[in-house]
C-alpha cells in the first residue's frame, strides 16, 4: 500500500499532552497520606505509561517500601481520586498537535486514542482540553482490559474506525507503543520529546519526529515504502 494511512491512533501522555505535572501532583497528595515525600516531576516522567497501578508499584519499589497487592490497590484508588479531581490544572497540549489533528481530519483520516491512562480520567482530560471532538474511538485503561504493549486496545480502536492495522499508524512515545503496534501488525511513529527514558531511536519505530510539524511527512513516508 502506498499513499497515506487510513487511520492514525495516538498515545496520550507524552504524545498528545504533557501531563506529568498533574500526575506528579496527584501522586504527591497520595504519598502525603502515607507520610511519604513527593516524587520529582522528572522522575515521575520515567514512570508514566503503564497505568495507575504500575505507577504506584514503581514508586513503592524505588523506595524499598511494602508492595503488598492490597496496599498497591488502595494507593491506586487514592491516586486516581486525586487525579480525577484535578486532571488538567497544569497539563498542556504539545505544540503543533492541533494543527496536525486539523490536517488529518481534513484528509478524512480516522483518528483514535490508545492509552493505559484510566478511562474516566482520559475522558475528562480530553473534554476539558477540547480534544474529544477529534477522535472517533478511544480505548483507555480499565479493569480486565490488557494494557499496552498488548495489542487488544489498539485493534479495538482500529476496528471501530473501520481500518486494518496494515493501513494505519500508531503514533506514540514509548516502547509500549512500539510493542503494541508491532503485535497488532501496525506501523509506528514515535515523538522524541515524550516520556521515554532512554534513546527513542533505539526502540525501532518506522520513524521518529522531533516536532509535530514533521508528522505529516513522516506519516506519508512510512507509507511510501514498497512493502506497504
Give the CATH number for residue 117.
3.40.50.1000
Over 70: is that where the pLDDT of 14 sits?
A: yes
- 52 and 112 co-located in one domain: no
CB neighbour burial string for 30-57, b if at least 16 within 10 angstroms, e if fewer = bbeeeebeebebeebbebbbbbbbbbbb
184 and 117 in a single domain? The answer is yes
Please tell me whether residues 106 and 200 are part of one structural domain. Answer: yes
Based on the structure, what is the number of domains in the chain?
A: 2
Q: Which pLDDT score is estimated for 1?
A: 42
The candidate with the shortest Cα–Cα distance to 195, out of 10, 59, 15, is 15
- pLDDT reported for residue 99: 97
Statement to judge: residues 209 and 134 lie in one domain: yes
119 domain-assigned: yes
Output 206 or 225, whichever has higher pLDDT: 206
Query: Quick check: is 2 in a domain?
Result: no
Domain CATH code at residue 75? 1.10.150
Both 41 and 79 in one domain: the answer is: yes
Residue 2 has pLDDT above 70, yes or no: no
Classify residue 49: in a domain, yes or no: yes
**Do 208 and 95 belong to one domain?**
yes
Q: Do 60 and 34 meet the contact criterion of CB atoms below 8 Å apart?
A: no
* Each residue's pLDDT tens digit, 152-193: 999 999 999 999 999 999 999 999 999 999 999 999 999 999
List the end-to-end C-alpha distance of the chain, in Å, as a whole number. Answer: 4
For residue 75, being part of any structural domain is answered with yes
Asked whether residue 228 is assigned to any structural domain, the reply reads no
Backbone angles phi, psi at 7, to 5 degrees: -145, 150
Residue 227 lies in a domain: no
- Of 74-83, 143-152, 201-210, which range is least confident? 143-152
Q: Looking at the structure, do residues 100 and 190 belong to the same domain, yes or no?
A: yes
Q: What is the pLDDT of residue 130?
A: 96
Q: What's residue 224's pLDDT?
A: 76
Q: Name the grid cell of 76.
A: 491506586
User: Where in the sequence numbering do the catalytic residues fall?
Assistant: 11
Range of the domain at 51: 20-85
pLDDT in tens, 88-139: 999 999 999 999 999 999 999 999 999 999 999 999 999 999 999 999 999 9
State pLDDT tens for residues 38-64. Answer: 999 999 999 998 899 999 999 999 888
Amino acid at each position: 500500500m502506498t499513499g497515506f494511512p487510513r487511520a492514525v491512533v495516538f498515545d496520550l501522555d507524552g504524545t498528545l499532552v504533557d501531563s506529568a505535572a498533574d500526575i506528579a501532583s496527584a501522586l504527591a497528595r497520595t504519598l502525603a497520606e502515607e507520610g511519604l515525600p513527593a516524587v520529582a516531576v522528572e522522575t515521575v516522567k520515567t514512570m508514566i505509561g503503564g497505568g495507575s497501578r504500575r505507577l504506584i508499584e514503581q514508586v513503592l519499589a524505588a523506595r524499598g517500601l511494602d508492595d503488598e497487592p492490597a496496599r498497591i490497590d488502595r494507593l491506586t484508588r487514592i491516586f486516581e481520586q486525586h487525579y480525577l479531581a484535578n486532571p488538567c490544572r497544569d497539563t498542556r497540549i504539545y505544540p503543533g498537535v492541533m494543527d496536525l489533528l486539523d490536517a488529518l481530519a481534513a484528509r478524512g483520516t480516522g483518528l483514535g486514542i490508545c492509552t493505559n491512562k484510566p478511562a474516566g480520567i482520559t475522558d475528562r482530560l480530553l473534554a476539558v482540553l477540547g480534544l474529544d471532538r477529534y477522535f472517533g474511538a478511544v480505548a483507555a485503561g480499565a479493569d480486565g482490559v490488557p494494557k499496552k504493549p498488548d495489542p487488544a486496545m489498539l485493534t479495538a480502536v482500529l476496528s471501530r474506525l473501520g481500518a486494518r492495522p496494515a493501513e494505519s499508524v500508531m503514533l506514540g512515545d514509548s516502547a509500549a507503543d512500539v510493542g503494541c503496534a508491532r503485535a497488532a501488525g501496525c506501523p509506528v511513529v514515535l515523538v522524541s520529546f515524550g516520556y521515554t527514558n532512554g534513546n527513542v531511536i533505539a526502540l525501532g519505530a518506522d520513524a521518529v519526529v522531533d516536532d509535530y510539524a514533521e508528522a505529516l511527512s513522516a506519516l506519508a513516508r512510512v507509507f511510501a515504502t514498497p512493502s506497504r
